[in-house]
A = this chain, B = another copy of it.
Amino acid sequence: MADDIDKGAPTLNQVAQQIRHYGLDADPQSVLVAVRLVAAGVMLGQAAEVHFARFGLSTGRYRLLADLEDSAGEKSPSRLAASLGVSRATVTGLVDGLERDGLVIRRPSAEDGRSAAVVLTARGATTLRELAPEHFGRLEAMVGELSADERATFLDLLGRIVRGTSALAE
């Protein structure tokens, strides 16, 4: 797997050919930007998965642990689902795995009988702390090719694409 860097990232010519094939009039460069962006996201996502696997985690599990730590080590599944942007069912599955590995525990809520709390264990906090230097180092290195100005430009352009996309998602 991960055979090729260009996994699924076509060239301008390939895109132009496809557009022509369907007799459309889309702008190849625009389409290329969109396709490359999606491909880059997939690629980085997989790289992150490999990275987290070295610590027995996954991106989803890491995000849950980090969110928990930002919330004083304790949060309800519903609120986790909301802040992570995933369904409650997904949180149930993630917590199942994390609890099995001893990184979090479940505790019923005292105030609300329907609710529960997911609590970060000492081991969970330790795992996060061990992970952090490499994690942030990798993220930083990822964009190390760019100058501060270029990073600012990239953030601006990316933000505008994202806003355009979500406006279009209706």
**Do A48 and B40 touch across chains, with their CB atoms under 8 A apart?**
no
**Do A24 and B143 touch across chains, with their CB atoms under 8 A apart?**
no
A34-B85 contact given A47-B165, A132-B24, A133-B24, CB 8 Å threshold? no
Q: How close is A22's CB to chain B, nearest CB, in angstroms? A: 4
Q: What copy number does this chain have within its complex?
A: 2
Chain A contacts with B in 11-38, Cβ cutoff 8 A: 14, 18-19, 21-22, 24, 26-27, 29-38
Q: How close is A166's CB to chain B, nearest CB, in angstroms? A: 5
A153-B153 contact given A38-B45, A140-B34, A164-B143, CB 8 Å threshold? yes
**Do B26 and A137 touch across chains, with their CB atoms under 8 A apart?**
yes
A160 partner, pick from B50, B85, B138, B145, beta carbons under 8 A:
B145
The answer for the CA separation of A45 and B40 in the assembled complex, in Å, is: 11
A22-B132 contact given A38-B41, A85-B2, A151-B33, CB 8 Å threshold? yes
Residues of B with C-beta under 8 A to A158: 33, 36-37, 40, 154
The answer for the CA separation of A139 and B9 in the assembled complex, in Å, is: 14
A: residues with CB less than 8 A from B are 1-5, 7-9, 14, 18-19, 21-22, 24, 26-27, 29-38, 40-45, 47-48, 50, 63, 66, 69-70, 82, 84-87, 129, 132-133, 136-146, 148, 150-155, 157-166, 168-169
